[in-house]
Chains A and B, each alone.
Chain A
Amino acid sequence: MPGEEEFESMSPEEIAEYQRKSCIFCKIIKGEIPSKKAYEDDKIISILDINPAAKGHLLVMTKEHYPILPVIPIDVAAHMFRTTKQLVKALKSGVVTGKVSVFIANGVVAGQQSPHFLYHLIPREDNDGLDNFNIPANDFSEEEVKKHLATFKGKIGLMTREYKARMKSGGGSSAKPKEKLAAGHKDLAEFIDKNPQMKEMIINSPEAFKKELESNTEFNRLFGGININKLSTALKQLKK
């Protein structure tokens, strides 16, 4: 491990690179260090914490290494948040508890113990001794409380407007044309799912379906550039 002097002479990029190479969670994600996985997909992963606050304490993180929440690309973060709801459900069902705590620490001072951004899902019970999660309620003057209200309003409003605008146009600003094409394919996949008869036709009579496409401009637009035979094979395999 580099000494302090060496760290000081490293550029931010070099430090980030070092973090990535030595990140325990990146190694866990790659399978180089064992872990107990509760859930995994192409963007995020959830594992049991080996130093749990309670039985079933889960860690949720992105597969890609990001040090803090604000730098996670919007589409990845959106997926992570949505999946959190399902993970909470699964956790409650698996551990048989009625309530959980979701705990996020940004920054070492807040309790962030890993350079790889992650957060905690902790099953709770009455009298479980986890009073550390209770949030204190203290007395402050109204001026002190209100002090930055205008700034918060402005910033939060701005960020929310940007977020909503991005989500409406179908995904983060980093979406390259190829990825946008893939988004169209996802719509297509959903469309096929919703039309079982059409699905059957693609699977059993791809040639007939191709003829249909020629005469139907709407479908032609949807299926434009797609290899129907390959699609037919893929759908056939899914059926099994």
Chain B
Amino acid sequence: MTCVVCEKIKEKKALIAYEDDNLVAVLPAKPAVPGHIKIMPKQHFTKLEELGDELVEELFFLANFSSASVFEALQAHGTNIILNESDAHLAVEVIPRKENDGMNFMWKPKELTPEEMDEVHNKIKDKAFVIGRKEEKLEAAQLALPAAAEGKDEKKEEVIKIPKEDRINYLIKHLQKIP
């Protein structure tokens, strides 16, 4: 079973607001509201973690820029950026919002017991903190470096300084030369 989105991308059968080698932003034929922009990786991915780090960054920045342009062009009061993962081709949707536009994406908060919260907290933080540790290594190595660099910076500044009075005089002299 082929992906409808992949085919549409290949045939360029869509209103394209932006396109590069890896990403495409289109105006869906059946939008939530005019100005709705759908951003997708050209390659068939269904889950965010399947994309490379750089592509994830570009994807969100594209969503951010789409949001800004939609906000301005439509004079919207706000925007939503929503990614709902599913079995379909991954898509980030940018939707302009206005007061009383008939849309509401808000959820009903659940009441979790303190035990349930603790349980979930423990499950997630162990996984997530591992990401941080890799970066800690690099930062500690850098701690040894900036101290020496500071000395270098001061030297550079002394060389570049031009006394203010001289600068102003030069400008005035230059003006006086003009007939």
Residues of chain A at the chain B interface (Cβ within 8 Å)? 36-42, 46, 48, 50-56, 58, 69-70, 77-78, 81-95, 98-112, 119, 122, 124, 130, 132-140, 144-149, 151-153, 155-157, 159-160, 163, 177-178, 181-182, 185-186, 188-190, 192-193, 225-227, 230-231, 233-235, 237-238
Contact = CB atoms under 8 A, between A and B. Distances in A.
Contact of B56 (A84, A130, A138): A84
A101 B120 contact: no
A95 B119 CA distance: 10
30 contacts: A38-B125, A41-B135, A51-B110, A69-B64, A77-B64, A82-B56, A85-B48, A94-B123, A94-B128, A95-B120, A101-B83, A122-B107, A132-B107, A135-B84, A137-B32, A138-B33, A140-B31, A145-B15, A145-B29, A146-B27, A148-B73, A152-B70, A156-B25, A156-B62, A160-B61, A186-B138, A192-B141, A226-B144, A227-B145, A234-B144
Contacts of A107: 76-79, 97
Interface in B51-89: 51, 53, 56-57, 59-74, 76-86
Interface in B86-140: 86, 92-93, 95, 97-99, 103-110, 112, 116-118, 120-121, 123-132, 135, 137-140
Contacts of B117: 36, 48, 50
Nearest first, the 8 closest Cβ-Cβ pairs linking A and B are A107-B78, A51-B109, A155-B69, A110-B78, A234-B144, A90-B127, A99-B85, A53-B107
Given A124-B84, A140-B34, A145-B15, A132 B104 contact: yes
Contacts of B61: 77-78, 81, 160, 163
B78 A151 contact: no
A137 B31 CA distance: 5
A141 to B, nearest CB: 9
A108 B78 contact: yes
> Chain A interface secondary structure, helix, strand, loop or mixed?
helix
B174 to A, nearest CB: 28
Interface residues of B, number: 99
Given A106-B79, A233-B144, A133 B105 contact: yes
A109 to B, nearest CB: 4
A104 B82 CA distance: 6
Interface centre among B84, B104, B148 (most CB of A within 10 A): B84
A213 to B, nearest CB: 13
A26 B147 CA distance: 30
B60 to A, nearest CB: 4
